[in-house]
Chains A and B, each alone.
Chain A
Amino acid sequence: MTREMIIEKLKNIFALVSGGSNVEVEEKTDLRTGLGLNSIGMLYMIIAIEENFSIRFENVAMGDFNTVADVIDYIEEQKQ
Chain B
Amino acid sequence: MNSKEKKKNKRKKYRTFSIKRFFYDFVKWTGALPMMIFFRMKIYRIGKKEKFKGALMMSNHIGLLDPVIIQFVYPFRRLWCLAMKELFTSVPLKLFLKGVNCIPVDRENVTIDMYHSVADVLSSGKIVAMFPEGRINFDKEAEVKSFKGGAALFAILNKVPVIPVYIVKKTKKLERQKVVVGEIIHLENICGKAPTVADLETVSQYLHQKEQELEQYYLNNIKKEKTNGNQV
Would you call B22 an interface residue if the criterion is a C-beta within 8 Å of the partner chain's C-beta atoms? no
Q: Is B19 an interface residue (CB 8 A)?
A: no
B99 close to chain A: CB less than 8 A: no
For the complex, what is the distance from the CA of A38 to the CA of B200, rounded to whole Å? 12
In the assembled complex, the CB of A78 is this many whole angstroms from the nearest CB of chain B, namely: 12
Residues from chain B with a CB closer than 8 A to the CB of A43 are: 110, 112, 115, 153
- With A and B bound together, what is the CA distance between A67 and B79 in angstroms? 37
Q: Are A61 and B111 in contact (CB under 8 A)?
A: yes
Q: Is the CB of B110 within 8 A of A39?
A: yes
Total interface residues in chain B, CB < 8 Å: 19
B158 CB to closest chain A CB (Å) equals 10
B45-101 residues at the A interface, CB under 8 angstroms: none
User: Are the CB atoms of A40 and B197 closer together than 8 Å?
Assistant: yes
Residue A59 at the chain B interface, CB threshold 8 Å: yes
Q: Chain A interface mostly helix, strand, loop or mixed?
A: helix
A40 touches B153 (CB 8 A): yes
Chain B residues numbered 133-159 whose CB sits less than 8 Å from any CB in chain A: 148-150, 153, 157
Across the interface, A58 reaches (CB within 8 A) one of B106, B112, B157, namely B112
Chain A residues lying within 8 Å of B200, measured Cβ to Cβ, are 40, 44
B124 lies within 8 A of chain A by Cβ: no
A44-B148 Cα distance, complex, nearest whole Å: 14
Is A16 a contact partner of B113 (Cβ separation < 8 A)? Answer: no
Contact status of A19 and B196, CB under 8 A, knowing A43-B153, A47-B157, A61-B106: yes
Distance A3 CA – B116 CA, assembled complex (angstroms): 27
Instruction: Give the nearest-CB partner of A19 in chain B.
Output: B196
The answer on a CB contact under 8 Å between A37 and B197 is: yes
- Contact across chains for B109 and A18 when beta carbons are under 8 A apart: no
The residues of A with any CB-CB pair to B shorter than 8 Å are: 16-19, 37-44, 46-47, 56-63
Q: 24 A-B contacts, Cβ less than 8 Å apart?
A: A16-B196, A17-B196, A17-B197, A18-B197, A19-B199, A38-B149, A40-B110, A40-B148, A40-B149, A40-B150, A40-B153, A41-B197, A43-B112, A44-B197, A47-B112, A47-B115, A57-B112, A58-B112, A59-B111, A59-B113, A60-B111, A61-B106, A61-B109, A63-B109
